Structures are given as C-alpha cells and as structure tokens.
Amino acid sequence: MSTDPLEPILEEAAVDTHLLHRPELEAIGRAVNEIDPDEFIAAVVFAPGLSWSEDQHRPRDYFEIHGRHWWLDASNPDNRVRLVNAITAVALVHALGLNLSTTWVTDVLPTVVTVRSVHRDDTGLHFELRRRHPAAPLPPHLADTVNPDDYAEFVYAIEQAQLGEPVCNGRVTIEFTGHDAMSTDKI
Amino acid sequence: MGEAMGDHLARLCFDGPGSSGRYTPHAYSLRLRGVDQPTDHMVYLHEVHHAALNDVTAWGSALHVYARLPGDAGNQFGPLLDACRLTHESLATFASVQIASARHGALDRVLAAYPDYVPLHEATLRLTAGVDGVTRRMVLASALARLCMQTPVLETITAAEIDGFRLASVRDLDRPDGRWNWFIRHGAHPLAAAAATADRAVVAQFGPAALASDGPGGGLHESTDPANDEGWDFWEASAYEQLRAALATAGARTLGINGHQEATATLLALVSARHGPIGLRAAMTDQQRRDDAAVASSVLQQVRHDLHDGDRHRGALLPSLDAGRLIELMANRPVIDDRPAMIVDARPASRLATLYRWPGGTLPGQLRASTGPVVAVRAIVDDGEPGMVVGHAVVPQPEVLGALSEGWGGRGPLVSCVSASCLADAGWTRRWLAPLSSFGPMFVLVDVEPDRFVPAWARDGRQVTAVETTVDDAGSQRTALLFTAGSGFAWWLVLADDVTVRLMVEYLRGCLGSRLRSDTELAGQAHDAATVVISHLLATESFVSFDALGLTNVD
C-alpha cells in the first residue's frame, strides 16, 4: 500500500483509538456498509494480532455460549493490513454484488487486488484499487480452504471492473485505476 | 478435560451470570447456576438447538462423522465447524430467546449477559422483521438455518473417500455461513416472501386454524400444540422451498428439507467399512420428532449437568479402613440438622474414572482392578493443595455393611446411593443389592437412559409413583425427581434442573400413560433420606448424565 489507508477509515468511523474492541469494529463496519457489521467483524477476528483478555484463547472445538473478550491492536502493521483488507472486502462484496463471504474475500484479496489508497471527503470513503496482473495463483496456505472455482470467479469479477469508472455503494466509492505487476511480497 | 476447556469454564464463571453450556456433536454440557430460571432455560435451549440442527442436516451429519473419526482422519472437523458457527449460533440464540421469552417475558436483560450473542439475535430479528407471529419467525429461522446446512457436502466427502476431503472442495455459497451471510446481505424481503408463500400453502392444505394460533393473543405454547404440528411442519417445508429457490438463483446447490438422508446413509456405510462403528446415534425419524417421549429421550441422551464449578472434583482413594475407623471418620461430619450421615455409594469403576480427576490422571489401580462396581464411603479431605478432594474409602465386602450399620447406631441416617449403571452387572447385583437394601433407604441415581429400564416397567404393567422436589443448594435451585415402581426396592433419583426433570416426566408419561402417578411430597423417612442423599450428591458428584453405559441407539 503506497499510503496508509486505515486512518481515513478510522476517521470516517469516528474511532480515535488503535485498541479496537467490538464497538469500534462495529463503527468501522458501519462506515463501509449499513446492513450488518457482523460479517466484517467475523473476517477481522481471525487476524493474527487478535488479543484476548486474561490470555484466553478462542476455543475451536465446540459450540458455546459465552462472552468473548478480545481486541485488535491497530498499531500493529500486520493487523492494519488485515483490517484494511477486510474493510475493502466488505466494500467489494457490496459494490460488485458478489455472492461471496467477506471472510472469503478478505483471505484472497491480497493475491488479486492492491489497495492503493483510501481517502475521505464529504461524500464518504474512496478506495483506489489496482488489479494484480496476472492474478497470483492461489497461495498454498489457502489451498485447503478456498475453492478454485470460487477463486476463478472472483478473479474474473475483478477483471471485469472497468478501469477509471468509480462504482458507488452508499458512502463508499471503489475505483480501479490500473494494474500492479504480480508480486507475492505482501501476500 | 483439556486445558482449553478448563480455561473456558474459568472465563465463563468470571464473565456472566454464570450459567453456561457447550455443545459438541457428542453431547452437551450444562453448568446451570439455578439462580435465575430464565437464564438457565435460555442456556439449556441454546444447546438443544445446536443438537437439533446437526441432527437434521447434511452439514450436521458431516460434523457428527468427523467428530468421531480416529486420528488424522478427523482433522477436517475444525474447518467444517468453522464454516457453520454463525449459522449455528444465530439459530441457537434466536430460538432459545424466543422460546424462553414465551414463558418468562422479554429476555433482553438475560441475553445482555452474553454480549457476543446480542448481535446475532438482533441480526436474526432483522432478517425476520417482515414476518408476523412469534411462531412463524421461529419456524422461519429454523427453515433458513436448515437450508444453510443442507448443502451437497456429504456427496463431496464420499467422492473424496472421507480422508481426501478438504473444505476447498465446497464452494463458499455451499457452506452454511456463506449462505447465512448471503441472506443477511439480502435483508428481510426473501424471508417475508417465503413466509407469505408458506401461509398460503398451509391455508390451502389445512385451513386457517394453525395460522390463527400464531396471531394476536396466541402464543408459542398454543401454536406448538401437538394438534398443529403437522401444519407447522408443512409451513416450514413450504418456506424452506421458497428460500431454497431464492438461494438457487445465486448458484447455490441446494437439497430438499430432508435431502440429506440418503447421502448420510451412503457416507455412514463408507465410514463403517473404513473405520468400523464410530458410535453415532441413529437420527430421529419425522414420526419420532413429533413424539414428546422420543424427543425427551433424545435430549436426555445428550445432556450432562455439571454440578461443580470449573473442572471435575479431584478424587482420592483413602486407605482401607475397618468398620470402626469408617464410623469414626464420618461421625463428626454433620450432614443434616447438625447430625452426621453414613452414605454408601456404588458406581462402576469406569464411571468413577470420568467423575473425578484422579492423581496422575488415572483411576487408582485398586479401583481399576475391581471386578464389579466400587462400593465406597465418601469424605471430603484436605490434601494440602487448593480446593477440596473427594476421598473414597472402599467397602470391600457386603458383610462390612452390617458392621457399619450396627456400629453407627442412631447417630444419623444410613443411606445407600447406587447408580443405575451398577445394576447392569448381574453378579454384583446378586451379591450386593440385598445388603445395600437392608443398610437403609436406597436411592438409584439415574445415570443411564430411561430407555434401558422404563419400557420393562411398562411391559410389566407396573404402577410408578413420582415426586418432584426442588432443593436449595447454597442459593441455587436444583430440581430432583424421585420415582418408584410398584413395591420397588428403591427410589430412583434424577438430580438436575427443572427442564431435565420435566423431560424425564414427559418420557415416563409417554411410556407409562395412566400408570404414572404424581405425588406432591415424600413421606417421613424417605423425605429425610432423600434430602441427605441429594445434599451429598451436590457436594461430591462432579456431574450427572445418562450415558454411563453408552447409548442404546448407536451403530
């Protein structure tokens, strides 16, 4: 990412802390899409820097009812990347009308799209994106979970987006401005 | 019980009002505080709905299978579970709140204690906002969750010959949470349209009676009257088909509402050929799902009540003591009305192994070597470590019971508590049952499915008398059911909460009909002895469940 894209998003959501708990993530999610922030939050809670109170870890082998006390430290660079990817995924799913989950798009986004910049003005948030060309093959760490047909469909949908033609969805505008040469250093 | 589970429970006790539940495809465990009944009911119903959803869907069948596969073959359980958490938790939260609200009124305060579930409930409320009637909304949420879970995953698993299956073989829109999110993004309209279609279908097929029960003035209890079951099943199937058609427009590969059954049978045959029996319960038929006794039996098979905070009690084997030393050990421990009690317990060694955390993680050799159930007197002891230890002083021979009884005199009650699982050992029963009966009032702690003993009572035409009682346990309400068959040798005892006791009564009534008689209270000596044994169990038994002998309807 050539400029820090997270700060405008935090400003749009009126979030003035880098320790993000559920209320802050709800606000960020609503800044991008008004329907429901839960899908976005689900995409975020798998972030590598997710912290739990009292060093608790997320139980993975049973359904349960309990309070989960976690937060995301947005001053951590990896967390910032994950957060921006999740936010961009929400914007893409809604703007392009994709039949894919935000979590799914968040995972594959870096192989297909570069978030060039995000800025905000009175009309909302503006995402400048670049297509990776050609799109990278599916990374090995996603091979067990990402369906190849879904991936091909997503790559095709991104390739169909017209360069220089902004797509608006609520207070979010997405614009593809060109191509980046394929690189795996940020994947 | 692993470290993660211990941490989880510790966190639960710290976080909310305390009552908690957890479900795996094997069973569900409840730690009900007995302080706030709406909370306990919500938690109980939450876990029941996890079980119900898994039992009637393709994704649920896949979870059941992979949860039981040995070794590396079971590795895909985690990815499968992660792909359906949102669907499961949304339905379980919504349905449990709806049903518990029908009895207790608004549950906002109760749900607020589980803050991560509030958004799930609100999202499902928004999804069903265009639908009138609490029953319609609940049935529609069920139809939606079933549709999300009814994906072609079983065919994919079978094609990959089980071990070769990876989640990547399933498209995102054919995963439960991919589907649930798709509906969330499309808002309330598809569900409102499905409800309207289902309304028209039911009126055309059954007339307006079932729908009228869901109108103003009607409630969930009225709507769910068995007379309306067929109508609401039809309504759910109709709504399901409408939602299915909407989802198919996005390219999802959907199944009929019961479209998983054939693929489940095929997969189970393959699993059996590869791995042998994996201990999977048979799915309930549609007819069984409308039978209250069968539903009660199904729930009882899977529930476990934790009576102890956190992990199980620590257990210790006490040195062998003769009758005189045992009497000395127990004589100065007041149990009821400042008087001591001598309580003799009998449990199979395998049950003792799971009831307690033993030193070194294994049952002591002397108990493991026991040829039948272990008969012992329990005493809380201090081993210098934090927390109490339940010590077990073995009663080696039936003859010792006579010496104990004689030496004890009138110090306090003499009671025996034999778990029902002990009675499956005919040799042990021949040797011990008569001496234990003579020792004092005998209670049979029900730790096996009622299917193992109640049908025989029904066949023999025995009259069963049942008494329900509530117990105050240091500020917590517990509920117990005591019942005896004819001139039975003992009182059978279910110790749990009001829901489990009600399910047990439903089961007994379903099997016994008019031969079940309810009494309001126990008389005299039996009442005092029941109070003693219940207090004793609450203090020393780690949990109560009905699977001590395994389940009867497994492969």
Neighbours of B220 (CB within 10 A): 18
Best of A57, A66, A93 to substitute, by most chain B Cβ atoms within 10 angstroms, is A66
Kindly provide the ipTM of the predicted complex, given to two decimals: 0.88
- pLDDT tens across the length of chain A (187 residues): 446 899 999 999 999 999 998 889 989 998 888 767 778 887 777 655 666 665 555 555 556 655 456 788 888 888 898 899 999 999 999 889 999 999 899 999 999 999 999 999 999 999 999 998 787 889 898 999 999 999 999 999 999 988 889 998 888 999 999 887 755 444 4
| Confidence grade of residue B83 (pLDDT, cut at 50, 70, 90) | very high
| Chain A contact set for B78 (CB, 8 A) | 60-61
Do B123 and A63 make contact, defined as CB atoms within 8 angstroms? no
B318 within 8 A of B359, measured Cβ to Cβ: no
Q: DSSP secondary-structure letter at B101? A: H
B36 within 8 A of B57, measured Cβ to Cβ: no
A33: which 2 tokens? 């899409």
* Residue whose C-alpha is closest to residue B108's, from B132, B91, B125: B125
Do B50 and A63 make contact, defined as CB atoms within 8 angstroms? yes
Question: What does residue B536 show for φ and ψ, rounded to 5 degrees?
Answer: -60, -45
Q: DSSP string covering A70-134, please?
A: EEEETTSHHHHHHHHHHHHHHHHHHHHT-SS-HHHHHHHHHHHEEEEEEEEETTEEEEEEEEEES
* Residue whose C-alpha is closest to residue B419's, from B298, B537, B293: B537
Q: Among all residues of chain B, which has the CA nearest to that of A59?
A: B4
Q: Any chain A CB within 8 A of the CB of B304? A: no
Nearest to A62 among B11, B22, B173 (CB): B22
Q: Compute the count of residue pairs across chains A and B with CB atoms less than 8 Å apart.
A: 126
pLDDT tens digits, B441-499: 999 999 999 999 999 999 999 999 999 999 887 778 899 999 999 876 799 999 999 99
pLDDT tens digits, B218-227: 566 566 677 7
* Calpha distance B269→B505 (Å, rounded): 36
* Calpha distance B513→B461 (Å, rounded): 10
Domain boundaries, chain B: 3-26+35-290, 307-545
Q: Among all residues of chain A, which has the CA nearest to that of B176?
A: A101
* Calpha distance B130→B193 (Å, rounded): 8
Answer yes or no: is pLDDT of B14 > 60: no
Answer yes or no: is pLDDT of B254 > 90: yes
* Calpha distance B527→A23 (Å, rounded): 53
Decide the pairing of beta strands B389-394 and B374-381. Answer: antiparallel
Answer yes or no: is pLDDT of B2 > 60: no
Q: Among all residues of chain A, which has the CA nearest to that of B85?
A: A63
* Residue whose C-alpha is closest to residue B243's, from B133, B128, B153: B128
Best of A65, A69, A153 to substitute, by most chain B Cβ atoms within 10 angstroms, is A65
Tell me which of B159 and B294 has the higher pLDDT: B159
Alpha-carbon distance B114 to nearest alpha carbon in chain A (angstroms): 5
* Calpha distance A147→B175 (Å, rounded): 11
In angstroms, what is the C-alpha Rg of chain A? Answer: 16
B262: which 2 tokens? 């054939």
* Calpha distance B69→B165 (Å, rounded): 13
Task: Please state the rounded mean pLDDT for residues B399-405.
Answer: 95
Alpha-carbon distance B86 to nearest alpha carbon in chain A (angstroms): 9
**Using CB atoms and an 8 Å cut-off, which of residues 178-237 of chain B contact chain A?**
178, 181-182, 184-185, 187
Q: Any chain B CB within 8 A of the CB of A68? A: yes
Neighbours of B155 (CB within 10 A): 17
The whole-number pLDDT of residue B10 equals: 25
Q: Any chain A CB within 8 A of the CB of B27? A: no
Alpha-carbon distance A65 to nearest alpha carbon in chain B (angstroms): 6
The whole-number pLDDT of residue B8 equals: 30
Question: What does residue B370 show for φ and ψ, rounded to 5 degrees?
Answer: -60, 135
- Find the angle CA(A38)-CA(A151)-CA(A40) to the nearest 5 degrees: 10
The whole-number pLDDT of residue B7 equals: 30
Neighbours of B215 (CB within 10 A): 14
Do B170 and A68 make contact, defined as CB atoms within 8 angstroms? no
Answer yes or no: is pLDDT of B186 > 90: yes
Task: Please state the rounded mean pLDDT for residues B255-280.
Answer: 91
Answer yes or no: is pLDDT of B217 > 60: no
pTM: 0.89
* Calpha distance B168→B149 (Å, rounded): 17
The whole-number pLDDT of residue A36 equals: 72
Tell me which of B405 and B472 has the higher pLDDT: B405
Percentage of chain B modeled with pLDDT above 70: 94
Best of B1, B7, B9, B11 to substitute, by most chain A Cβ atoms within 10 angstroms, is B11
The whole-number pLDDT of residue A63 equals: 63
Edge to edge, what strands does the sheet with A63-65 contain? A63-65, B20-23, B28-31, B303-306, B543-545
